[in-house]
Amino acid sequence: MAVESCVSARVGHHHTTTVLVLNAGSSSLKYNLWSGGAELARGTVDRPGSMSAALETAFAAIGSQAVDAVGHRVVHGGGRFDGPVLVDAAVEQAIDELGVIAPLHNPHSLEGIRAVRARMPKVPQVAVFDTSFHHTLPPEAYAYAVPERLGIRRYGFHGISHQYVSQRYAELAGRSPETLRVITCHLGNGCSVCAVEGGRSVDTSMGFTPMEGLVMGTRCGDIDPGAILHLLSTKQTQVDDLRRILNSESGLLAVSGVSNDMRDVLKAVGDGDLRAELGVALFCYRVKKYIGAYLAAMNGADAVVFTGGIGEHSPEVRLRICSGLDWLGVSLNPAANLAVEGEGRIGFGPVAVWVVPTREEMVIARETASLLAGKK
């Protein structure tokens, strides 16, 4: 079934579920309203004040449209949630507890849930988790080589995006997802790569938290844990300070010395800034390494797909990442890479290279409506 055609679900025989999708962040609230497979409204509300105030602004923009359900993007669902769930007190508590390991995300989602409940106490709310898609990781991909009693493992994130993009690529290619091996690269302020085989996530670059893996806007990505222990044991920094540094002061921002925004860093590169050049080079090198690793893990791939703000809009970054991968079948068409707008194929070697804009809100709307339809 086409991804676009299964956004909404019918409850009973006469009513189409209208779903408000909320993605709550530290500085903004993104909203989308879906009904009958169509997007009725979308927007972003800056929220220097409260989430409640941001929510009121969103509802003012929506107008008189009735809302049957609210679907929330929640980043960390841990090992407990392998699919969307109706929000109740136990789910709220779990989201709250997992906020310790997803401090930039879960607390804001929980704030959004509570703001909706205060405004519309009888409207059902559904949590859709970024980690759910990665519950299919095999043990050799999710385990860390540490004592089991520590209770840590790799969960992976951006699952909603990787799920949509891999399914959408299959549709564009006229293939069943079950027949494909796809490497999806979600590159934005947060970044991750996912190996999708037979429609299932089999490996991904993020781990126990969204900090592992690629260089990101402000997150460090892969780092020697011994370096962390060194900083703590020599009292150069405390735990809370180090958490802030690795989450909010590292990544592209730290290496380039310019910005966490790739557009600003590339402009500085054009002006001859050597630190900015290192930031871009390190960012692209890390993505290339993961693509190579997942080509090995899946014994090849049918496609590499770019998505996210950088993946969709930066031909320079895509070119740098794919440069030198020709011998593995990954080869860009320079003209197509520069010209693509929206969806499009940009590489014509044995491994197809595509740009597919992510539609996480579409997946959240679909899964929210389908969950509620199944409970009627």
Residue 334's CB is within 10 A of a number of other CB atoms, namely 10
Q: At what angle do helices 89-98 and 106-119 cross, to 10 degrees?
A: 150
Number of Cβ atoms within 10 Å of the Cβ of 307? 27
**Pairing state of beta strands 125-129 and 69-74?**
parallel
Quick check: 130 and 75 in contact, CB under 8 A? yes
Q: Does 96 participate in catalysis according to the annotation? A: no
CB 100 within 8 A of CB 247: no
- Going by C-alpha positions, the residue among 130, 163, 135, 181 that lies closest to residue 3 is 163
Main-chain phi, psi angles of 326, to 5 degrees: -55, -40
Q: What residue type is assigned to position 363 of the chain?
A: V
Residue 172 backbone class (left: φ over 0; alpha: ψ -120 to 50; beta: rest): alpha
Residue with tokens 């989308």: 32
Write out the H or E segment, with its range, that includes residue 290: helix 274-297
Between 225-233 and 239-248, two packed helices, what is the crossing angle to 10 degrees?
Answer: 140
Residue pair 33/361 in contact (Cβ under 8 Å)? The answer is no
Catalytic residue among 82, 88, 96, 130: 130
Question: d(Cα 217, Cα 211) in Å, to the nearest integer?
Answer: 11
Catalytic machinery residues:
130
